[in-house]
Amino acid sequence: MSRYAAFVLFLFVGLEFQLSHGTEVQVKGADKKLCLYANLTISFSVSYELAVGKNVTIKFPLPDNVTTDGSKCENTSSTLKLNFGAGHSWAVNFTSNGKKYQADSVMFSYNLSDSTIFPNSALNDTLSVTTKPQITDVGMDTCYSCKSTDEIQADLVNMTLWNVLIQAFVINGSRSENLTICSADVPVTTAPTTTHVTNSTSTAPPPTTTPTTTPTPTPTLPTPTTGQYSIKPDDNSTACLLANFGLRIGFKKGELYQEMNLEPNRTIASGSCGANSSELVLKSKDMIIMFTFTSDTKKFSLHALNFTAVGVPFSGTNNNLSLWEAEVNSSYMCNKEQNYTITSLLSLYTFNLQVQPFGVKKGLFSTAEDCQADAESFLVPIAVGVALLVLIFIVLLAYFIGRKRNMATGYESF
């Protein structure tokens, strides 16, 4: 029995060690010096279609034996690309402003023709998904460290990261011992409670004061300017994604609530168009916001939103939205101001909204499906008009009835 227990304990410890063991890579620049370091653990969950017409979800880890072909180090940008298996890769792009750096995007490519991972797949294509991780405001000459689990979802793929240690910009070829800890690893501290002890001979308790709280003032901003954004597959093509709107973001960090407007003339739009998933990424001096639209070939909707404030350590993500739904061959429109709660700490305000992420023809919006708020705004004048017509009809009817009676009375008198 003791041998069996020892064997089980050994197996458990060995399994735990294997699961916690990360993939470590070192990328060197043209001068043969270390320029990018990473040690992290990733597991993937991918849903794909079987040849028999059913869908299945498989899970697999990032292996130890990876290559870094395609990785690069530059002064203000760097890329970590991990290649593994039969045509699979995971890549993250970093940018720096000289004082801090952040991860702008993560791309995962997987080859469905790899039968060792995707047996009986109906497709043999290599598919890619792109999303944004929550890695921001990392100090230069420090390593980003996050032992907590971070789940990144994009379309049919779910990526789980933990025990992450990355230095995207290594200075002088030597990895830094300084760390920038992710918010999930920061322990929550509470203020100590002080107990006041009074003398037993005291006849009256000491006076107590009740702290008063001052409500946080709501910032007042002008109505944001309506911007026009489009995504093209290449320079010679017409737009495949169109979006017009004024945008305001509200978020709460600690006890402070902040709002900011998206400025179209200082915003760069990028993204991608797909058959079932399209993305629009807007980057300004104040924010980076990514909209992910999905389609079931009949209708589309906003499925996910990822927001990061530039210069402020705040980010928010919701990968389970169902907003702005419309037919695939039409656009979604909502002219009235709308307020959407993305997370408990993040709100989205839209003005003069019209989007079409699929089925764009000749670079123009298709017929729009109005939101409920716009439909209700049309019902009010229609109802008033109908009421006026009814009132006019009643007045006319009363007039003719009265005239007919007067005429009948005149005939009798004669």
Using the predicted structure, report yes or no on whether residue 414 has a pLDDT greater than 80.
no
Using the predicted structure, report yes or no on whether residue 11 has a pLDDT greater than 70.
no
Amino acid identity of residue 26, one-letter, is: Q
Per the prediction, the chain carries an average pLDDT of 82
Q: pLDDT tens across 217-234, in order?
A: 455 689 999 999 999 987
CATH 3.30.70.1050 assigned to domain 21-185? The reply is no
Largest CA distance in the chain: 128
Residues 29, 37: Cα–Cα separation, whole Å = 12
Which residue is listed with tokens 């980010």? Answer: 315
Q: pLDDT tens across 122-159, in order?
A: 999 999 888 888 888 899 999 999 988 888 877 788 88
Q: What's the mean pLDDT in 317-336? A: 93
For the entire predicted model, the pTM comes to 0.46
Question: Which pLDDT band, with edges at 50, 70 and 90, does 412 fall under?
Answer: low
Residues 306, 113: Cα–Cα separation, whole Å = 31
Q: pLDDT tens across 157-190, in order?
A: 888 888 999 999 999 999 999 999 888 887 654 4
User: Are 242 and 356 a contacting pair, CB within 8 Å?
Assistant: yes
Residues 360, 281: Cα–Cα separation, whole Å = 18
In this prediction, residue 389 carries a pLDDT of 82
Q: pLDDT tens across 102-122, in order?
A: 999 899 999 999 999 999 999
Cα–Cα nearest to 122, from 176, 195, 49, 196: 49
In this prediction, residue 405 carries a pLDDT of 73
Q: Tell me the three-class secondary structure of the chain, residue by residue.
A: CHHHHHHHHHHHHHHHHHHHCCEEEEEECCCCCEEEEEEEEEEEEEEEEECCCCEEEEEEECCCCCECCCCEECCCEEEEEEEECCCEEEEEEEEECCCEEEEEEEEEEEECCCCCCCCCECCCCEEEEEECCCCCCEECCCEEEECCCEEEEECCEEEEEEEEEEECCCCCCCCCCCEEECHHHCCCCCCCCCCCCCCCCCCCCCCCCCCCCCCCCCCCCCCCCCEEEEECCCCCCCCCEEEEEEEEEEEEECCEEEEEECCHHHCEEEEECCCCEEEEEEECCCEEEEEEEEECCCEEEEEEEEEEECCCCCEEEECCCCEEEEECCCEEEECCCEEEEEECCEEEEEEEEEEECCCCECCECCCEEECHHHHHHHHHHHHHHHHHHHHHHHHHHHHHHHHHHHHHHHHHHC
Residues 379, 342: Cα–Cα separation, whole Å = 29
Residues 349, 366: Cα–Cα separation, whole Å = 24
393-401, Cβ contacts within 8 angstroms, sequence gap of 24 or more: none
Pairing label, strands 55-61, 34-49: antiparallel
In this prediction, residue 410 carries a pLDDT of 59
Using the predicted structure, report yes or no on whether residue 32 has a pLDDT greater than 70.
yes
Question: Which pLDDT band, with edges at 50, 70 and 90, does 235 fall under?
Answer: confident
* CATH class of this structure's domain 227-370: mainly beta
In this prediction, residue 87 carries a pLDDT of 93
- Nearest 5°: phi and psi at 44? -115, 145
